[in-house]
């Protein structure tokens, strides 16, 4: 089939690579590939850390896609951070958040032990005093910018800035938080501000959690050339209707929380502050499948989970383009029918 994929973020590129792998003739259209939400993403592959009440279906999808990641990263010759994630809380209220997350994961059949602060610091000596922690052993991370670069290099001249004039058999819209009409009402922008620092902070695991009620994550990445590694600190989350700009308050809150949690970050170089819109949907699940308009498919609305869900989305989207019935929980038409389904 001749397929146009609109959008060269991690989702559009992953879908394109999958379609190419299945023998289709693909053109990816994006004047600035990888410059949207993929550019801001920290790259956590964290179904457990991102689990939320009433989102059992999304959690199961995340677990399924997370299982695909080791071979996906290997096929792109990319390393994975697989030392796990430590979920932590600083004060007594934050401790309750850790306990609540552990209880929620138990309802999904994932038992995690809540450790006291002393045991947490034995695992990660770079941490300041915390009151509670839980090891999320299966929550990993990748460098999304490296993933985008690897997919772009794989797709080569198939990525172009403007849509070709030929009429494709299928069009896949993968433009994240900014969908064209008539699909634009299906996603809303949820601003995330994120910081990139550089320094040796001595963290082995991804650390995420709450600092006096402020949610924060710290993602350490080894530098392959042996220099001080990148440390990604994220992220704010705000519903808004303006452009996604970095705000003074957002940077202040992220730095305050991250440096309280990992004091060594005080000496790290602050390299970048970036804001992008996460593509949120009404039920927080992505839109993967046919739109109802002939030959037009969506792969969008991945909210906080774009990197995690990329390999699974690519498969499901390619199946749908090839005529398979879409997963009803991801079918973009679920909203049109006003049949928002109960989640588990
Ligand atoms: N998945 C992390 C975030 O959206 O901030």
Q: What is the pLDDT of residues 106-119, one digit of tens each?
A: 999 999 999 999 99
> Are 89 and 62 contained in the same domain?
no
- State yes or no: pLDDT of 171 exceeds 60: yes
> Are 163 and 261 contained in the same domain?
no
> Are 217 and 313 contained in the same domain?
no
Structure confidence at residue 81 (pLDDT): 93
- State yes or no: pLDDT of 342 exceeds 70: no
Average pLDDT over residues 76-93: 96
> Are 192 and 254 contained in the same domain?
yes
* Ligand 1 centroid, distance to 41 Cα (angstroms): 7
pLDDT digits (tens, 9 = 90+) for 27-66: 999 999 999 999 999 999 999 999 999 999 999 999 999 9
> Are 214 and 102 contained in the same domain?
yes
Q: Could you say which of 258, 280, 302 is where a domain stops?
A: 280
Q: What's the DSSP call for residue 81? A: B
* Tally of structural domains, the chain: 2
- State yes or no: pLDDT of 341 exceeds 60: no
> Are 158 and 133 contained in the same domain?
no
- Atom 1 (ligand 1): residue with closest C-alpha? 304
d(CA 333, CA 250): 35
Mapped to the 3 state alphabet, what secondary structure does 206-254 carry? EEEEEECCEEEEEEEECCCCCCCCEEEEECCCEECCCCCCCCHHHHHHH
* Ligand 1 centroid, distance to 168 Cα (angstroms): 34
Structure confidence at residue 225 (pLDDT): 78
d(CA 269, CA 197): 5
pLDDT band at 319 (very low <50, low <70, confident <90, very high): very high
pTM equals: 0.95
Q: Which two tokens stand for residue 307?
A: 């990197």
90 backbone dihedrals φ, ψ, rounded to 5°: -90, -55
* Ligand 1 centroid, distance to 40 Cα (angstroms): 9
- Atom 3 (ligand 1): residue with closest C-alpha? 304
**Secondary structure class of 103 (helix, strand, coil):** helix
Print the domain residue range for 27: 1-81+140-186+282-344
Average pLDDT over residues 194-220: 96
> Are 155 and 239 contained in the same domain?
no
- State yes or no: pLDDT of 336 exceeds 90: no
> Are 245 and 210 contained in the same domain?
yes
Structure confidence at residue 337 (pLDDT): 53
Of the candidates 65, 11, 5, the residue with the CA atom closest to the CA atom of residue 38:
11
Average pLDDT over residues 78-94: 96
For position 321, which CATH number holds?
Answer: 3.50.50.60
* Ligand 1 centroid, distance to 254 Cα (angstroms): 13
Average pLDDT over residues 3-16: 98
Q: Could you say which of 237, 257, 280 is where a domain stops?
A: 280
Structure confidence at residue 268 (pLDDT): 97
Q: Is the dihedral of CA 171, 150, 287, 30 positive or negative?
A: negative
> Are 204 and 149 contained in the same domain?
no
Residue given tokens 């259209």 in the structure block: 29
Least-confidence region, from 200-204, 224-228, 324-328? 224-228
pLDDT band at 74 (very low <50, low <70, confident <90, very high): very high
> Are 107 and 226 contained in the same domain?
yes
Are 216 and 210 within 8 A, CB to CB?
yes
- Atom 5 (ligand 1): residue with closest C-alpha? 235
Ligand 1 contacts (CB < 6 A) are 42, 44, 50, 192, 234-235, 278, 304
CA atoms within 13 A on the CB side of 84: 12
Are 261 and 180 within 8 A, CB to CB?
no
- State yes or no: pLDDT of 241 exceeds 90: no
d(CA 84, CA 134): 11
Structure confidence at residue 121 (pLDDT): 94
Structure confidence at residue 240 (pLDDT): 85
Share of the chain above pLDDT 90, in %: 93
Q: Could you say which of 260, 280, 300 is where a domain stops?
A: 280
Average pLDDT over residues 269-279: 97
- State yes or no: pLDDT of 135 exceeds 60: yes
> Are 156 and 55 contained in the same domain?
yes
Of the candidates 167, 194, 201, 241, the residue with the CA atom closest to the CA atom of residue 44:
194
For position 201, which CATH number holds?
Answer: 3.30.9.10
> Are 286 and 336 contained in the same domain?
yes
pLDDT band at 186 (very low <50, low <70, confident <90, very high): very high
């Amino acid at each position: 089939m001749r397929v146009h994929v609109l959008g060269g973020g991690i989702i559009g590129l992953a879908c394109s690579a999958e379609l190419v792998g299945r023998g289709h003739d693909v053109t990816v259209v994006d004047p600035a590939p990888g410059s949207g939400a993929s550019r801001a993403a920290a790259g956590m592959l964290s179904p457990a850390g991102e689990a939320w009440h009433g989102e059992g279906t999304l959690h199961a999808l995340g677990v399924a896609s997370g299982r695909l990641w080791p071979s996906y990263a290997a096929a792109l010759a990319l390393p994975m951070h697989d030392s796990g994630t430590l979920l932590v809380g600083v004060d007594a209220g934050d401790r309750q958040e850790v306990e609540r997350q552990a209880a929620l994961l138990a309802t999904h059949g994932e038992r995690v032990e809540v450790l006291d602060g002393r045991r947490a610091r034995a695992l990660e000596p770079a941490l300041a005093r915390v009151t509670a922690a839980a090891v999320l052993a299966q929550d990993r991370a990748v460098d999304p910018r490296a993933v985008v670069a690897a997919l772009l290099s794989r797709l080569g001249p198939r990525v172009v800035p403007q849509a070709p004039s030929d009429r494709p058999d299928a069009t896949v819209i993968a433009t994240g938080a900014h969908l064209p009409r008539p699909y634009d009402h299906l996603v809303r922008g949820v601003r995330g501000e994120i910081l990139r620092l550089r320094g040796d902070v001595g963290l082995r695991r991804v650390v995420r959690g709450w600092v006096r009620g402020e949610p924060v994550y710290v993602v350490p990445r080894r530098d392959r050339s042996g220099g001080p590694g990148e440390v990604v600190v994220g992220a704010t989350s705000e519903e808004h209707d303006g452009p996604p700009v970095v705000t003074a308050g957002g940077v202040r809150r992220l730095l305050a929380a991250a440096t309280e949690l990992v004091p060594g970050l005080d000496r790290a170089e602050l390299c970048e502050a970036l804001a992008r819109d996460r593509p949120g949907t009404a039920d927080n699940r992505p839109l993967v499948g046919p739109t109802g308009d002939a030959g037009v498919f969506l792969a969008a609305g991945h909210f906080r989970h774009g990197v995690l869900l990329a390999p699974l989305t690519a498969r499901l989207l390619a199946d749908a383009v090839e005529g398979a019935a879409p997963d009803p929980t991801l079918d973009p038409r679920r909203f049109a029918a006003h049949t928002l389904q109960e989640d588990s």
